[in-house]
Chain A
């Protein structure tokens, strides 16, 4: 198996550079939108308006937040370990953006006479790439919490480590069913395999497990124990401020987009539309973004609904419910796949 999937065409070298720049630009553009959408929606869920003072309807609020954070004094606690303290947010940010590159926004398109795949890269190892970067991203949290030299940060980092390890197992196993049904690891080919029926229907259990572990993997409510405000001030990023804090914040929202993108690709048919609607190729990215935003809406909806889990509940749920369920799902899928082939 090669590192890159066999796509049957070659992209010129400059296309790769342009694509990575465009992907970075898209991530930078979308995160403020998600941020504002979250605060606005959360407001509506609580009988409020949400931010509506800066600019028309509060649309300039994320800009104001970013300017505020970027112009703050770079602050470092005297107990912090300087090198790692600076490096940790960069790890978080880099891994989140790298994982964003794998989400396919469409099929191969013909742009200015060149065959261009509407994704960052289509790697042969597919989702393993995402899990690899997810595993490295956890160093960002861990190192950040430890290098801050603060007990709250350290506790938050410990919780993050335990939580990410526990739920990554269930998350990986929940995707095994999809991979077996599709018979490939390449994300574009998984999407194409869903042209008959989206995998959310035959792999509904896997979908549920994936969604739950996605909440845990992105440290979102109700699994936001690593940054439980009431207990840990802010968890691993307690001692961070200014641009470093903005990096963590940015990485968290890119991670939300990444898991939403993976869920859309794996279970909701990527750029495919139901009922045999087949729009021209340039619509595909918009379909994917619409589905991702539906997922983000669900993230906010859950955050507005569910209270934070207790720590023992989190652990027992991950190991005693999700992991056996995911294993059983993979087993049943394997039997069905073998029996029907």
Chain B
């Protein structure tokens, strides 16, 4: 037994870690050269795989069916009446407080929605919206849903307040939808 107290004596449960050879010497130079060649092969293989870039404005990543994009208001397909009855439940559910609804009574001469009342004003401030989808959940008539559009940037803050007419219209440019299993 050595009397050298600085020497570390491993215990029985110590794992011996296999380390890589130390650099330097002829073996080190040979390894460095070989590893360099291996690295060159690795990078060249990336060239032959081709670019993975999606050139965004021209190519778009398809969104999933449950993607929560810009809201849309809906009409009944047969009668053309608005589904929204102006109940303001969406405004009540909205955590960002970005929906403003002003209801008005339907009259026989001026019938807008299927219920008693309709939304005379329906505005969503998309600058404040957090796209949580609670409005869609709160709506008893499925009048408001989250669409698939996500390109909503604008130059002016007031342009981001979407009115009822804008929300009722079909979006100008459709966002590609991911098909089943894609």
A residues at B contact (CB < 8 Å):
41, 43-49, 52, 301-302, 304-306, 321
How near does chain B come to A87, taking the closest CB pair, in angstroms?
A: 39
Question: Nearest-CB distance from B34 to chain A (Å)?
Answer: 13
Q: Which single member of B36, B43, B51 contacts A48 (CB below 8 Å)?
A: B51
Residue of A nearest to B51 (CB): A49
Supply 12 A–B pairs (Cβ within 8 Å), ascending by A: A44-B51, A45-B46, A46-B46, A47-B46, A47-B52, A47-B53, A48-B53, A49-B51, A49-B55, A52-B55, A305-B36, A305-B43
Collect the chain B residues with CB atoms within 8 Å of residue A45's CB.
43-44, 46-47
Q: Are B53 and A305 in contact (CB under 8 A)?
A: no
Please report the C-alpha to C-alpha distance between residue A49 and residue B55 in the assembled complex, in whole angstroms.
9
Task: State whether A305 touches B49 (Cβ < 8 A).
Answer: no
Shortest distance between the CB of B102 and any CB in chain A (Å)? 46
Kindly state whether residue B42 has any CB partner on chain A within 8 Å.
yes
Residues from chain A with a CB closer than 8 A to the CB of B36 are: 305-306
Q: Is the CB of A321 within 8 A of B29?
A: yes
Q: Chain A interface secondary structure, helix, strand, loop or mixed?
A: helix
Known: A306-B36, A306-B39, A321-B29. A301 touches B44 (CB 8 A): yes
Contact A305 B39 (CB under 8 A): yes
For the complex formed, measure the closest distance between the CB of B159 and the CB atoms of chain A, giving whole angstroms.
27
Contacts of B49 in A (CB 8 A): 47
Contacts of A49 in B (CB 8 A): 51, 53, 55
User: Nearest chain-B residue to A45 (Cβ)?
Assistant: B43
Q: How far is the CB of A170 from chain B (nearest CB, A)?
A: 14
Known: A44-B51, A47-B50, A49-B51. 12 other contacts (CB 8 A): A41-B47, A43-B51, A44-B46, A44-B47, A45-B43, A46-B46, A47-B46, A47-B49, A47-B52, A301-B40, A301-B44, A304-B43
Interface of B is mostly: helix
Task: Give the CA-CA distance A321 to B55 in the complex, in Å.
Answer: 46
Residues of B within 8 A of A41 (CB): 47
- Smallest Cβ distance from B48 to chain A, in angstroms? 9
On chain A, the residues within 8 Å of B51 by CB distance are: 43-44, 47-49
Across-interface contacts of B53 in A (CB, < 8 A):
47-49
Tell me the bound Cα distance from A49 to B46 in angstroms: 12
Nearest first, the 5 closest Cβ-Cβ pairs linking A and B are: A47-B52, A305-B39, A305-B43, A44-B47, A304-B43
Give the distance to chain B from A319, nearest Cβ to Cβ, in Å: 13
- Docked complex: B3-56 residues within 8 A CB-CB of A: 29, 36, 39-40, 42-44, 46-47, 49-53, 55
Once the chains are docked, how many angstroms separate the CA of A17 from the CA of B51?
46
Tell me the complex Cα distance, A47–B42, Å. 12
Question: In angstroms, how far is the closest chain B Cβ from the Cβ of A300?
Answer: 10
A130 to B55, CA, bound (A): 45
**Complex Cα distance A321/B29, Å?**
9
Tell me the bound Cα distance from A301 to B46 in angstroms.
11
Q: Which of B40-77 contact A (CB under 8 A)?
A: 40, 42-44, 46-47, 49-53, 55
In the assembled complex, the Cα of A52 lies from the Cα of B50 at a distance in Å of 15
Q: In the assembled complex, how far is the CB of residue A322 from the closest CB belonging to chain B, in whole angstroms? A: 10
Shortest distance in angstroms between B57's beta carbon and chain A's nearest beta carbon? Answer: 10
Task: State A48–B46 Cα separation when bound (angstroms).
Answer: 10
Q: CA–CA, A74 to B14, complex, Å?
A: 64
Most chain B CB within a 10 A radius of its CB, from A41, A52, A305, A306: A305
Q: Which residues of A contact B29 (CB under 8 A)?
A: 321
In the bound complex, what is the Cα–Cα distance between A302 and B36 (angstroms)? 9
B131 to A: closest C-beta gap in Å: 30
Contact with B40, one of A43, A44, A48, A305 (Cβ below 8 angstroms): A305
Q: Take A47-B53, A321-B29 as given contacts and tell me if A302 and B47 are in contact as well, using a CB distance cutoff of 8 Å.
A: no
Q: How far is the CA of A49 from the CA of B51 in the complex (A)?
A: 6
Closest-by-CB residue of A relative to B40 is A305
**B95-133 interface bits toward A, Cβ cutoff 8 Å, 1 = contact, 0 = none:** 000000000000000000000000000000000000000
